[in-house]
Amino acid sequence: MNPLLSPFTTPYTSAPFSKIKNEHFKPAIEKAIISAKKEIDVLVANKATPTYKNTIESLEFVGMQMKRVTSIFFNLNSAETNDTIQKIAQEVSPLLSEFANDIRLNQQLFERVKEIYTQKDSLDLSTEQKTLLSNQYKMFVRNGANLSATDKEKLRSIDKQASKLSLQFGENILAETNAFELHITDENQLKGLPDGAKEAAQLTAKQKEKEGWLFTLDYPSYVPFMTYIDDRSLREQMAKAFGARSFQENEFDNQQIVLDIVKLRHQRANLLGYNTHADFVLEERMAEKPEKVLSFLNDLLLKAKPAALREFKQLSEFSQKDGIEILQKWDGSYYAEKLKKELFDFDEEALKPYFKLENVLNGVFTIAHKLYNLNFEEINDIDKYHQDVKTYKVTDSKGNLVAVFYADFFPREGKRNGAWMTSYKDQWIQDGENSRPHISIVCNFTKPTESKPSLLTFNEVTTLFHEFGHALHGMLANTTYPSLSGTSVHWDFVELPSQVLENWCYEKEALDLFARHYKTEAQIPMELVQKIKDASTFLEGTATMRQLSFGILDMNWHSGESPENILSVKGFESAVFADTQLYPDVAENCMSTAFSHIFQGGYSSGYYSYKWAEVLDADAFEYFKEAGIFNQVVADKFKENILSKGGTDKPMALYKKFRGKEPNANALLKRAGLLK
């Protein structure tokens, strides 16, 4: 029996991971596609006059089994993949693209939706219903419903190719990341590295049956190495390996894939009547136009660049006492850490004992309870896809189920780098039943060693809070329709709940709830809290310019009118970076070939949204601070107007209901220390 082909009888209808085998996925997806197609056929064959209920709502709930199976599959492809899963992904992605196009290019279905759309002003619809209707109509139009038969076939072909290329892009980076190891047997080469990072490297070596210490390009290994190792040549070796991922003219090279993806996206946009891919994407964003995004990025760049140049000069001069003539990329984190320590008497390592992973997790649970009356109880009666995963039942103050929550914190070979939030099941309301979501956060933190628990850097603490902010957006979803639920919002709005929660990490009132020494249980000293705050704007100009450079690179890849004229990925990237470059270029390295956000992860023409959302989050948190960071009235307004509403209304309308006015960028500039 294929467990994916029948309704789940598990607690909370959770995914039955222990029963699912790799060979179950492809047949389940194929059958789910056939079943969804039949649902579409029934919908189209309905002789009754098209109504909102028999067309728009029916279409919304088509293929629910397929959505469930594919969410499980593609989540595993990111968090617990292997060669077989990757091969299946390559096989099923074109099938899913084909199915999506079967819907989007179904003329009879489009005519039914169009008939209701043309009557929208005379129908008595709620805001959420109007949004769903508008989204469905645009889904057809933005995916070729008005194209000729020939152009529809062209679109199908483009989508199929682009889908496969994006998958290949991600697989190549994972392969390159896994292929690199720096094996060290002489402890003298590890001078400067903290004991915790040393122990973790020893554990990695032991797991690979090697003597000494093993370092990889996974962030928990790479970041401490680049921050603390005194041996400059080793830092250079690691940095060059990291920057060369999928830029080595081998079987995992992404250069041609980048060029092909960009060309396909441009062709697709042109086919649909848009000048560029960015024009197409931004039509459905708060920013609306490429010109507005570029203006936003350049305006911030104008304010951040003078600070960044001053900071880089300061860092360069600081490194000269070690005889560094030219500060290189592999020197940045190392000397930044040393300078921060000198200026603020601030040592990241001194903070780590106060941030035991379990304590930080309990802390974020406590904050969620204080703000939103949520309770988290660890449960062991549902399946996990890996033994490291923790599972929780989330309930409200009355004991009602709010969500199922999965937390997956440590690096593994089959897990991609970085941190993300996702869902195994969306939230929706149907036939009077509110079906609750299953939410997951996935991170890559340092594993516990034989002598120490997992102790987080402060940066990792903010990462956990960030992803948990996304998780709250998913958990507290309370909409009728799954496609408008939770994080299904405009991309330049989706980072608001995640980024706003990071602010609590800097507040004593919040830190007191969880920042305790893992050995003594002593509360984090006030002077350390003050140092966190003092150091929070350290090199902020540089960090801002780095983020802006990524956003500008993304926009240049996708808002140019002739991508077919780009012959060199590296050459194009170097020209774009000219205005934001601080460090000398490294010929063997390329950012674009490993820029997963825009070539694999859905952020194309959207990377700017991190900064855009920072404006929103700084303004929103200012409101919390004015009233008190645990003020129930403000928290209720945020929950009611932002977290529970998903994409049911325009983001600015939701924000103004919460805040009472549009956001002000000055709050961000002030927080970043770029506005005195």
Alpha-carbon separation of residue 580 from 87, 370, 500, 602 (angstroms): 39, 42, 27, 24
Pairing, β 390-395 against β 401-408: antiparallel
* Count of C-beta atoms within a 10 Å radius of residue 434: 15
3-state helix, strand, coil in the chain (%, to 5): 60, 5, 35
Q: Which helix (H) or strand (E) element contains residue 390? A: strand 390-395
Q: Which of 60, 176, 460, 467 is catalytic?
A: 467
What is the DSSP secondary structure assignment for residue 414, as one 8-state letter?
T
- The C-alpha atoms of residue 575 and residue 571 are separated, in whole angstroms, by 6
Cβ of 144: how many Cβ atoms within 10 Å?
Answer: 23
User: Shortest CA distance to 438 belongs to which of 72, 191, 130, 18?
Assistant: 72
- Farthest CA pair distance, the chain: 82
Report DSSP letters for 535-569, one per residue: HTTTTHHHHHHHHHHHHHHHHHHHH-S-GGG---H
Rounded distance between C-alpha atoms, residue 505 and residue 360, angstroms:
10
In whole angstroms, what is the distance from residue 83 CA to residue 414 CA? 9
> Is 211 exposed, middle or buried (CB count within 10 Å of its CB: 0-12, 13-18, 19+)?
exposed
Decide if 111 is catalytic. no
Contacts of 212 (CB under 8 A, 6+ apart): 183, 184, 185, 186, 187, 202, 205
441 beta partners? 407, 421
Can you name the residues that pair with 422 across neighbouring β-strands? 440
Query: Contacts from 483-486 at CB under 8 Å and sequence distance 24+?
Result: 483/60, 483/132, 483/135, 483/647, 484/128, 484/131, 484/132, 484/135, 484/646, 484/647, 484/648, 485/426, 485/427, 485/428, 485/437, 485/646, 485/647, 486/423, 486/426, 486/427, 486/437, 486/439, 486/646
Produce one character per residue of 544-553: b if its CB has 16 or more CB atoms within 10 Å, e if not: bbebbbbbbb
Query: Tokens at residue 573, please?
Result: 């990237």
* Residues designated as active site: 467
